[in-house]
A and B are shown apart, each in its own frame.
Chain A
Amino acid sequence: MGEFVVHRVRFFDYMPSAIRAMAFNGSTQRLAVARGDGAVEIFNFADNYFQEKVIPGRSDRAIEALCWVRGRLFSAGLSGEIIEYDLEKLRPRYSVEAYGGPIWTISSNSQETLLGVGCEDGTVKMFEILEERIQFQRNLDRQKGRIISLSWHPSGAQIAAGMIDMIRIFDAETGHATHRLLVERGVGTTRNTEVVVWSVAFLSNDTVISGDSAGKVQIWDAVTGTLIRNHLITKWDVLGLAVSQDESSVIAGTSEGTVVQFQALASTMGQENNQWVRTRTFKNHTHDVRALVHTDTAVVSGGMDTQLVVRPLLDKVEKNTQESALRKILFPHKSLVCCARKAGLLLFQFPDHLELWRLGESSAKGQAGDRLPVMKNPEKLIQLQNKGEDHICCSAVSPCGSWVAFSTVSSVRLYKLQLSNGNISIKKVSKLPKELHSVHQLCFSSDSSRLFASSAQASVVVASLDQLQCKHLHTAFSAFLSFPGSSQPIHLLSASENGNWLAAANTDGQIHVFNLHKLKLHCTLPVYSSCPTAIAIHPTTGHLLSAHADQQIFEFSLKLKEYTAWSRSLQREGLHPLWLQRDTPITHIAFNRNKPAHVFLHDAFMFCIIDQSLPLPQARKKLYNQMDLKTISPQKRMQESHAFKICKMFQHLLSIHLLDDSSLVVVERPLADIVSQLPPPVRQKKFAT
């Protein structure tokens, strides 16, 4: 597969944010995840858990709860506001002040007409859900102490509210509290500390299940207000509860990082006297499990350790299939690293700042596998701090390294960089065309003369950058390429090397190719069911290569406007099963100028060169055969080798780039580095320690 000089970069201190809340929309199979920095991520569970959209956070936005109402997403947080998100423009649509202090919880009734929020001042406030907004309807009886958790009875007639030391049940019609369920405090020293009911669940058979800070999961009869069963599952807190759709299973997340499942089982066969029995325990987290979702087939959990874990329930899925595998989603599905491949610069994107690094250099030569001595250490050139509360949603550096652009929800900033013999000067381009105000993706053309931006109106903005007039920098708005047929945000942009083409993909799976000379739509690719995760146009052949969330790869000839023969044969023969079983999407595609048949791809755990001149691997052959090939004779090697050359030497990859001097830049983020930055987990007694 060729030999490269590799820059192994580990100085990107990327730190994901803790997961605070989750909500699952069963009808669209979308999971919304709220992070500690206020960002909201949308995962498509129907499409290989692909992270479709990211709504950037705000430093003053602390989301405590999320709620789907039909296709609309609401959040509430400690700022006291209820926010509805615009999922097409990827920004809050509006926010409504609840006037009850910080909001701890938000929940809609099953009829999806009312939204209840639990506030710090002890009120449960009802908001009516209207077409375009929500409107305050009324308050339920005000209680002493904050409302921590809320759950509607499926009929919508009652609400259970978890509070300090108690659970209240309200009549939703009258707004009066009908029951007060006193929750016992912990034993021993914890007797003096009040117990917080972190989570409640109201089932249709008038059963209330609660999880509290004393480590108990309690099952109550809501008609009589009596405790039915008490399960002590941890010494620490039970932070979250989630109920399956058919109400036969409940999961509880604890501070120890465990998720405990309870099932309603008949104690004797053939009878209907179901009892809630503690059954399985899943331990996939090291820290607090703050958010839980019980889908029909899996337990989805997230918490302080920033990982999203999808643990399939083996009694609900076929065994030994792709569906039955445990998935951990560690890294975002879009690259946070941008590389100026001519200048050898790396741009790292953080929520509130950008870092521009110059790669190190080495003049030594060595054998394959050698570690070369670094002559010149990598150097941080610039740290660009974003002003304002909004977080950065996208950024880009031009291939020549002279332009840096980034965008927040509200504005785009463009900087002109000058790097000449050690002197760095940066200048902000002040007058940007007004069309460039809110973009989702930024991309420079290969000659750095144009900036492409996917705007909120489902269109691509092309701005030309005047390179010659250095003193009077100006950008000109040159074109506005509107996207036909869909209003979904464009999440991928890729310009061809020769400046002829621009490919853009949106989350509906549409890929459009624009002719940049004529500034109009050239062609539209056939829509594939799975969302594209990376696209790139081949510099010489002009083929568009796209990788999709279900791990399929397509090659489309832009000249002939059809799939190429190689792509057809790939579809005909099918990809190797092991390739399809990988669980992280391909986030970047690149080409080698020297070897046109080579395509570079990578996901979080491997990096692959597809040699289009070699035969495709058979399903029964070994996919990962690079190690074997080294040992066998050259003749046999020819027979055994196939198109997919996979390297697993680098793990936890954030990005791989091919520089113009044919050296590779590998940006790794070892998991241990992330774990070391996490706060210490709760103390647990381990046996024999």
Chain B
Amino acid sequence: MVEHGDVRVVHKGGSKINFREPALSTDSRFLLCASGESVKVFSTATEECLHALQGHTDLITGVLLRPSNHLQAYSCSLDGTVRLWDFTDGILIRTYSIGYPIYGIYASAKHEGVIFIITPMHTDTNSELFQLVAVHLPQCGEQLVEAKELSAVLSNISSNPAASAFGREGQYIVSAKPLQLEVYFFKKHKSYSFFLKKDNQKGGKNTFTCITCHPTEDCIASGHEDGKIRLWRNFNHRKEYTYSTLHWHHSAVSSLRFTPEGTNLLSGGVESVLVQWRYNQESQRDFLPRLGGAITHISVSPDGALFCTSHSDNKITIIQSCVKVSAVIQGLVKGDRIRTDLMIEPRSKALVLNGKPGHLQFYSLQRDKLLYNLDIVQQEYIHESGLEQFEVVMAAFDASGSWLATVEERKQKAPELELNLKLWAFDDQKQSFVLNTTISAPHEGRITALCFPHVSDGQTTMLVSTSRDGHFKAWQLAAPAHTEDEGPSWSCDFLGAYHSLVPECCCFSADSSLLAVGFQEVVTVWTPASWELLTTLSQPPGAVRDLCFGRLSCSKYLLGATTSRLLCCWNLLTCSLEWVTSMDVSLLLADPLSENMAAFCFEAGSTDLFVFKPGEPRPLFSHKALCSGRVTHAVFVPREVMLESCDEASQWLNCSHLYFLTQSMDLLTFITKAEEDKLTASSKQLVVSDDVAMTPFHLLLGKHRDQLENPQAESRLSVEPIRQPSSSAGINELLQMPAHVLPSASFLCSMFVQSLLISVNKPSEQNKEKEEEMESEKEEEDSDGEMESRISRPEHMPSGESGCAAPALTKEEVRELRRLKKLDHSWMKGLLD
């Protein structure tokens, strides 16, 4: 067995952005949001992800602006570290190692150098008890600091960060347990507890769900399970405390926030309505309805200009303070259940799965962005529980990505199953899928599998579907005989059955010359060309649950997973069982780019992964206890750039990523050590050595100082740019310069091309002659620092270079230049794009 030494399971791409409350920057321009193991910085104006702050090695559980510096942010993670970031530039400033998993983070401007974190009470067990701990952050310049000064403030608190909050000016901290409100005053070191009854007379549940404090007055707002909001006052008395009750929500209040001035209170819940209460005039309230999913978090920017709400459908809505939606950041939509498999759209390499009800979503894992939703059902979805509506239950792409087959069903009662098989063709003009054929009631029973043959070159013209009615059908693309104007459409070509057994799965071989259909215990192999039953393979007892042909060199093997906890491998050349092993395979998957196969096995409440080649007895990789529960959805995603890892354990990841979906709907993947190192290396390069903020002023002065201190480094720097091809420097300038300071495009173009020309046919003599001059110029530019140089260079270079280059050129050279100029335009355009 190969141990998984340097391959790690990570959240990467498509992770929840609604897991924790996002933080809005002071100027409301950026939105920081915990997403898996990185913090994403979004622009609130454009909804674009500017950069991801990477470095944590486990799930991030909190993001918080640093109260003393509004350009920095803390993030905490289950890996036991708190990291301080410069989020505008995406630089990791410092890492504080705490040593315990952290579930939430708080800070207050009044508590300088102290942060408050939620950690479990007992480190060894998975206990339900948590405590609030004050961490004194050591003041030193090192990168990685170990914070040792910990002191417990409150014990037995909830792990939910929304259940605790800082009060006015950080004077007290409030924490809500299920039926108890605890207020701890820092000055007096005294805490007060207030209890509620379990149920009030009308049967409402009084359990606390969230807490927030008024910024300028002593008032605590608490949300409750029955939809009530209580405003607590006078809580520095054990007995004479009082509260008033606001009630609009009909079910639990999930988030509460006061605006920075304390004039309004925002609340949200399952109703997906943002309610704005006037503080002290609570009968007046504003509503922002129809926000989509249930509101899970509300956050407010420190200047009060923006609110943002996180929703249960992995969405963040940015709302202006006039209660108007201004932007929506949508993550991967993960409902409570995914009916379709995870698929990769071959064209865009996007991940495809169920999204909004009745839709398929196309999600780019590389860019970690939702591309678009394809409306499959094309019917209005009614938000009402208990209503049976059409659902997309199955989808399949052909190998070239030009066809998409979807199955939607509506089950009212078992005999009245409504089924639709839809075939969608990719329209090059629209760059989207267009409905080609709708086949209503393609089968009498529920469709169990849908499969296109793997035709790599030509057009796909066949689709196979298996159903519970005991048949499998082959659908053929055929031009209609009588009408000329319509394009080709799909129709049934062959109907197959085997001993009236129910087919459960089907699979085409790699060259599509064989079709394997699993009829309960029997695997039948057919040839699609003539629809002849070639052979039957059987390994009773236990019905075949999953079938998979080997790829490339292993294409002679057919693998089947049975319900009797067996994984069988048949050799199709000999039509005999090659090997069999006992494991409860819940999912069998073949990598389309290699011989590798992945088997997810359910063992003792958790899932194990085995990656193997069908021809080899030894698994390439195995990972015990991947996650709890069954894994039923996984996909191999081809890499954009092949990895050159020669390490045995991580070789299988060279061609593809393996993404899988756990039962708790977390999209996880594997990452190798080398990849991780590369990522961290790229981020570490940016790290500023000292604590000083990277202001332009610092760059100016600091560089000067550096030059004075070590002139040899300066000289080395000055040489470097010459070695570089100056064309790339020119492009960089163009790309990096802000658009508003650039001269007009026509002017730029000629100048740009000129800069390219010189670099390509470098006239060696002139250059050598002028080297001294150039060097001195570069020196000056460099000393001005990055910002300066970018602005000054376009002004300098044309004058400088035309001044030196133009008189020296001969006519032949000029002709040559013109020729090159014509050539260069096309690839430059490509580069610019």
Task: State the Cβ distance, B168 to closest chain A Cβ, in Å.
Answer: 7
In the complex, B530 has a CB within 8 A of chain A: no
In the complex, A263 has a CB within 8 A of chain B: yes
Contacting pair A265 B241 (CB below 8 A): no
How many angstroms from the CA of A688 to the CA of B282 in the assembled complex?
A: 22
How many angstroms from the CA of A278 to the CA of B283 in the assembled complex?
A: 11
In the complex, B250 has a CB within 8 A of chain A: yes
Point out the residues of chain A lying under 8 angstroms from B250, CB to CB.
687-688
Contacting pair A268 B168 (CB below 8 A): yes
Contacting pair A279 B218 (CB below 8 A): no
| Interface window among B231-239, B475-483, B506-514 | B231-239
How many angstroms from the CA of A230 to the CA of B282 in the assembled complex?
A: 11
Residue of B nearest to A688 (CB): B250
In the complex, B124 has a CB within 8 A of chain A: no
Contacting pair A280 B218 (CB below 8 A): no
Contacting pair B244 A277 (CB below 8 A): yes
In the complex, B245 has a CB within 8 A of chain A: yes
Residue of B nearest to A687 (CB): B250
**Of B219, B234, B245, which is in contact with the most chain A CB atoms at under 10 Å from its CB?**
B234
**Of A229, A275, A279, which is in contact with the most chain B CB atoms at under 10 Å from its CB?**
A279
How many angstroms from the CA of A267 to the CA of B216 in the assembled complex?
A: 8
Contacting pair B244 A265 (CB below 8 A): no
How many angstroms from the CA of A268 to the CA of B216 in the assembled complex?
A: 8
Contacting pair B243 A279 (CB below 8 A): yes
Point out the residues of chain A lying under 8 angstroms from B281, CB to CB.
230-232
Point out the residues of chain B lying under 8 angstroms from A687, CB to CB.
250
In the complex, A272 has a CB within 8 A of chain B: no
Task: State the Cβ distance, B184 to closest chain A Cβ, in Å.
Answer: 14
Contacting pair B243 A277 (CB below 8 A): no
**Of A229, A232, A267, A687, which is in contact with the most chain B CB atoms at under 10 Å from its CB?**
A267
In the complex, A233 has a CB within 8 A of chain B: yes
How many angstroms from the CA of A275 to the CA of B243 in the assembled complex?
A: 14
Task: State the Cβ distance, A245 to closest chain B Cβ, in Å.
Answer: 15
Task: State the Cβ distance, A340 to closest chain B Cβ, in Å.
Answer: 43
Among B168, B244, B284, the residue within 8 A (CB) of A279 is: B244
In the complex, A266 has a CB within 8 A of chain B: yes
Residue of B nearest to A319 (CB): B239
Tell whether A229 pairs with B236 under 8 Å between CB atoms, given A268-B218, A687-B250: no
Contacting pair B217 A281 (CB below 8 A): no
Contacting pair A263 B242 (CB below 8 A): yes
How many angstroms from the CA of A568 to the CA of B283 in the assembled complex?
A: 59
Task: State the Cβ distance, A382 to closest chain B Cβ, in Å.
Answer: 45
In the complex, A3 has a CB within 8 A of chain B: no
Point out the residues of chain B lying under 8 angstroms from A263, CB to CB.
233-234, 242
Tell whether A269 pairs with B245 under 8 Å between CB atoms, given A277-B280, A315-B239: no
Contacting pair B280 A269 (CB below 8 A): no
How many residue pairs at the A-B interface have CB separations less than 8 Å? Answer: 51
Task: State the Cβ distance, A257 to closest chain B Cβ, in Å.
Answer: 15
Point out the residues of chain B lying under 8 angstroms from A315, CB to CB.
237, 239-242
Contacting pair A278 B218 (CB below 8 A): no
Binary contact readout A252-282 vs B (1 if CB under 8 angstroms, 0 otherwise): 0000000000010111110000010111110
Contacting pair B242 A267 (CB below 8 A): no
How many angstroms from the CA of A268 to the CA of B234 in the assembled complex?
A: 9
Residue of A nearest to B171 (CB): A269
Point out the residues of chain A lying under 8 angstroms from B234, CB to CB.
263, 265-266
How many angstroms from the CA of A688 to the CA of B234 in the assembled complex?
A: 34
How many angstroms from the CA of A316 to the CA of B243 in the assembled complex?
A: 14
Tell whether A279 pairs with B233 under 8 Å between CB atoms, given A315-B239, A315-B242: yes
Point out the residues of chain A lying under 8 angstroms from B171, CB to CB.
269
How many angstroms from the CA of A194 to the CA of B624 in the assembled complex?
A: 78
Query: How many of A's residues come within 8 Å of B, CB to CB?
Result: 21
Tell whether A267 pairs with B217 under 8 Å between CB atoms, given A229-B280, A278-B282, A688-B250: yes
Contacting pair A279 B283 (CB below 8 A): no
Task: State the Cβ distance, A366 to closest chain B Cβ, in Å.
Answer: 38
Binary contact readout B520-550 vs A (1 if CB under 8 angstroms, 0 otherwise): 0000000000000000000000000000000
> Which residues between 462 and 506 of chain A lie within 8 Å of chain B, taking CB atoms?
none
Among A229, A231, A266, A281, the residue within 8 A (CB) of B218 is: A266
Point out the residues of chain A lying under 8 angstroms from B241, CB to CB.
315
Residue of A nearest to B214 (CB): A267
How many angstroms from the CA of A277 to the CA of B243 in the assembled complex?
A: 10
Point out the residues of chain A lying under 8 angstroms from B283, CB to CB.
231-233
How many angstroms from the CA of A687 to the CA of B227 in the assembled complex?
A: 13
Residue of A nearest to B232 (CB): A279
Contacting pair B244 A267 (CB below 8 A): no
Task: State the Cβ distance, A385 to closest chain B Cβ, in Å.
Answer: 44
Point out the residues of chain A lying under 8 angstroms from B218, CB to CB.
266-269
Point out the residues of chain B lying under 8 angstroms from A688, CB to CB.
250
Task: State the Cβ distance, B798 to closest chain A Cβ, in Å.
Answer: 64
Tell whether A277 pairs with B233 under 8 Å between CB atoms, given A268-B168, A268-B217, A268-B218: yes
Point out the residues of chain B lying under 8 angstroms from A231, CB to CB.
281, 283
Residue of B nearest to A275 (CB): B280
Point out the residues of chain B lying under 8 angstroms from A265, CB to CB.
233-234, 242
How many angstroms from the CA of A277 to the CA of B230 in the assembled complex?
A: 13
Contacting pair A280 B242 (CB below 8 A): yes
Tell whether A281 pairs with B245 under 8 Å between CB atoms, given A266-B218, A687-B250, A688-B250: yes
How many angstroms from the CA of A315 to the CA of B282 in the assembled complex?
A: 23
Contacting pair B217 A280 (CB below 8 A): no
How many angstroms from the CA of A667 to the CA of B243 in the assembled complex?
A: 43
Point out the residues of chain A lying under 8 angstroms from B237, CB to CB.
315
Point out the residues of chain A lying under 8 angstroms from B233, CB to CB.
263, 265, 277, 279
How many angstroms from the CA of A315 to the CA of B238 in the assembled complex?
A: 9
How many angstroms from the CA of A642 to the CA of B283 in the assembled complex?
A: 56
Task: State the Cβ distance, B261 to closest chain A Cβ, in Å.
Answer: 14
> Which residues between 229 and 283 of chain B lie within 8 Å of chain A, taking CB atoms?
233-234, 236-237, 239-245, 250, 280-283
How many angstroms from the CA of A232 to the CA of B216 in the assembled complex?
A: 24
Task: State the Cβ distance, A188 to closest chain B Cβ, in Å.
Answer: 14
Task: State the Cβ distance, B73 to closest chain A Cβ, in Å.
Answer: 29
**Of A230, A263, A278, which is in contact with the most chain B CB atoms at under 10 Å from its CB?**
A278
How many angstroms from the CA of A280 to the CA of B234 in the assembled complex?
A: 13
Tell whether A280 pairs with B244 under 8 Å between CB atoms, given A229-B280, A266-B218, A267-B218: yes
How many angstroms from the CA of A688 to the CA of B227 in the assembled complex?
A: 14
How many angstroms from the CA of A359 to the CA of B728 in the assembled complex?
A: 113
How many angstroms from the CA of A275 to the CA of B217 in the assembled complex?
A: 11
How many angstroms from the CA of A230 to the CA of B284 in the assembled complex?
A: 11
Task: State the Cβ distance, A121 to closest chain B Cβ, in Å.
Answer: 36
Residue of B nearest to A230 (CB): B281
How many angstroms from the CA of A265 to the CA of B282 in the assembled complex?
A: 17
Task: State the Cβ distance, B653 to closest chain A Cβ, in Å.
Answer: 54
Task: State the Cβ distance, B748 to closest chain A Cβ, in Å.
Answer: 59
How many angstroms from the CA of A145 to the CA of B122 in the assembled complex?
A: 74
How many angstroms from the CA of A279 to the CA of B234 in the assembled complex?
A: 11
Point out the residues of chain B lying under 8 angstroms from A229, CB to CB.
280
Residue of B nearest to A263 (CB): B242
How many angstroms from the CA of A229 to the CA of B236 in the assembled complex?
A: 25
Tell whether A278 pairs with B217 under 8 Å between CB atoms, given A233-B283, A265-B234: no
Residue of A nearest to B217 (CB): A267
How many angstroms from the CA of A269 to the CA of B284 in the assembled complex?
A: 26
Task: State the Cβ distance, B221 to closest chain A Cβ, in Å.
Answer: 13
Contacting pair A269 B236 (CB below 8 A): yes
Point out the residues of chain B lying under 8 angstroms from A281, CB to CB.
244-245
Among B219, B243, B284, the residue within 8 A (CB) of A280 is: B243
How many angstroms from the CA of A230 to the CA of B280 in the assembled complex?
A: 9
Pick 28 A–B contacts, CB within 8 A, sort by A: A229-B280, A230-B281, A231-B283, A232-B284, A233-B283, A263-B233, A263-B234, A263-B242, A265-B234, A266-B218, A267-B216, A267-B217, A267-B219, A268-B218, A269-B218, A277-B244, A278-B282, A279-B233, A279-B242, A279-B243, A279-B244, A280-B242, A280-B245, A281-B245, A315-B241, A315-B242, A316-B240, A687-B250
Given A230-B281, A263-B242, A277-B244, 12 further pairs, Cβ under 8 A: A232-B281, A232-B284, A263-B233, A266-B234, A267-B216, A267-B218, A269-B171, A278-B244, A280-B244, A281-B245, A315-B239, A315-B242
